[in-house]
Amino acid sequence: MTEMGKHARAAAEKLSMAPTKQKDAGLIGAAMVIRANVDDILAANAKDLAAAKEKGLSGAMLDRLLLDEKRIEAMAKGLEDIAALPDPVGSKIAEWDRPNGLHIERIRVPLGVIGIIYESRPNVTADAGALCLKSGNAAILRGGSESSHSSRIIHESLVEGFMAANLPEHAIQLVPTTDRAAVGEMLAGLNGNIDVIVPRGGKSLVARVQAEARVPVFAHLEGICHVYVDKDADLEMARKIVMNAKLRRTGVCGSAETLLVDEACAATHLPVLVKDLIDAGCEVRGDERTRAVDARVKPATEADWSTEYLDAIISVRVVNGIEEAMRHIAHYGSHHTESIVTANQKTADRFLATVDSAIVLHNASTQFADGGEFGMGAEIGIATGKFHARGPVGVEQLTSFKYVVRGTGQIRP
């Protein structure tokens, strides 16, 4: 691991100066190698799947692990999409002149070495590695043992593509899953050779990384996202947004987990919203007033308000207007993504200004919490911390900056 850290730092220095064309050629080359290796990738994945079945892994786990030709093609296409993004490195964030004639520029530079710790999805190897390369960073990847065969051949394919473009051999390194101490060493910062950790996986992985890491972490522990339907909400709009926010995909971090309905419109709006959800197969767990509108509503316990179901389940509560809604969100939320549905601009502005979440929306679904939907291209994850990166973490968020000052002999009085 120590050697790996040194190699990563040396590669990062080279990558920080690598021209855009070279990085893009590496990514396009890696996509070609992945397509050429499709049979070998499928064979490696079959080994992982067989071992996982023997271990008795759940159907959802097996699905995360599974690669088929379509998923491998999506992975290759993903690399090409990242190649097509603008290169953040060297771009000017701001520039200004000083009265003494100094010209100051703020220029994006890479962060350095990014450590990625992930679980069973083997495609993270390609996605995360490619985002690091595009942003001029070296990557140290530690995948789950379940996907070790698949990750290894995907990693080899990337390295082959990158080296064909004369990129450093150690731009992306894969930690052998047999090294049990590796995660601990990565969280400690690998002797100063890892600058940031990105965990990709379930809550227990993220919690461990957040608790133990001695370097910055870009992550969200959970996405307990809320939709608040205000008394001035258009019912048809609220129906569309609630259904989409909860049920479009239930397993993503931006899916809504709690619906808050203003008591001033509960009589008209609540029964319709609850019926929509239950008729669509969603379990509704409600407070007393919600249970009164539909016999199929189950009772919500205190724990429900802070539970991320990631499933077709929603908790529903009637609140006394926007202020109680915001207090509920502040108390039970996870600072991820919240939406207000209202036709009243003033109410919306109060909500958008006050709610302390990475993403706040007015009259739109929480499922837009995604780097691609924001126009930022692929993302390595969504961060709920307030430092450096907040919200979707794309290639720009994987950079820092420096001040470049141009003078003509100025000295300070």
The footprint of its own copies (CB under 8 A) covers 16-17, 90, 96, 98, 102, 104, 109, 111-112, 195-196, 216, 234, 237, 240-241, 243-245, 248, 348, 352-354, 356-365, 367-368, 373-375, 386-388, 390-391, 400-412
The H or E element containing residue 318 is: strand 313-319
Residue 33 CB coordination number (10 Å): 19
> Which two three-digit tokens encode residue 209?
């990384």
- Give 275-283 contacts, CB < 8 A, sequence gap 24+: 276/239, 276/242, 276/243, 277/242, 277/243, 277/246, 277/247, 277/314, 280/243, 280/247, 281/312, 282/246, 282/247, 282/312, 282/313, 282/314, 283/312, 283/313, 283/314
Helix (H, G, I), strand (E, B) or coil at 17: coil
Shortest distance (Å) from residue 351 CB to its own copies: 10
Report in angstroms how near the CB of residue 331 gets to its own copies at its nearest: 12
Smallest gap from Cβ 403 to its own copies, in A, equals: 5
Residue whose entry in the numeric block shows the structure tokens 């731009």: 171
State the minimum distance, in angstroms, from the CB of residue 62 to its own copies: 27
Closest approach, Cβ 6 to its own copies, in A, equals 14
Task: Using the minimum distance from each CB to its own copies, give the nearer residue, 276 or 287.
Answer: 276
Residue closer to its own copies (CB basis): 281 or 409: 409
Three-state DSSP state, 94: strand
Q: Which is nearer to its own copies, 35 or 388 (CB)?
A: 388
Closer residue to its own copies (CB): 244 or 258: 244
- Residue 52 or 361 having the CB closest to its own copies: 361
SS (H, E, C) 59-76: HHHHHHHCCCHHHHHHHH
**Identity at 206, one-letter amino acid code:** V
Cβ of residue 345: shortest distance to its own copies, in angstroms?
9
Residues 6+ away with beta carbon under 8 Å from 50: none
Nearest residue (CB) to its own copies, 125 versus 135: 135
Q: Determine how β-strand 225-229 pairs with β-strand 337-341.
A: parallel
Give me the least distance between CB of 78 and its own copies, in Å please: 19
**Cα–Cα separations (whole angstroms), residue 54 to 44, 80, 122, 200, 201:** 16, 35, 19, 24, 22
Identify which of residues 313 and 364 has a Cβ nearer to its own copies in the complex.
Answer: 364
Of 172 and 360, nearer to its own copies (C-beta) is: 360
Residue-wise burial string across 374-404, b where 16 or more C-beta atoms lie within 10 A, e elsewhere? eebbbbbbbbbbeeebbbbbbbbbbbeeeee
Taking each helix axis from N to C end, the angle separating 266-279 and 235-247, rounded to the nearest 10 degrees, works out to: 40
For the CB of residue 223, give the shortest distance to its own copies in the complex, in Å: 14
When the beta carbons of 129 and 371 are compared against its own copies, the nearer one is 371
Q: What does the chain come to in residues?
A: 413
Give how far Cα 211 sits from Cα of 27, 214, 217, Å: 34, 9, 10
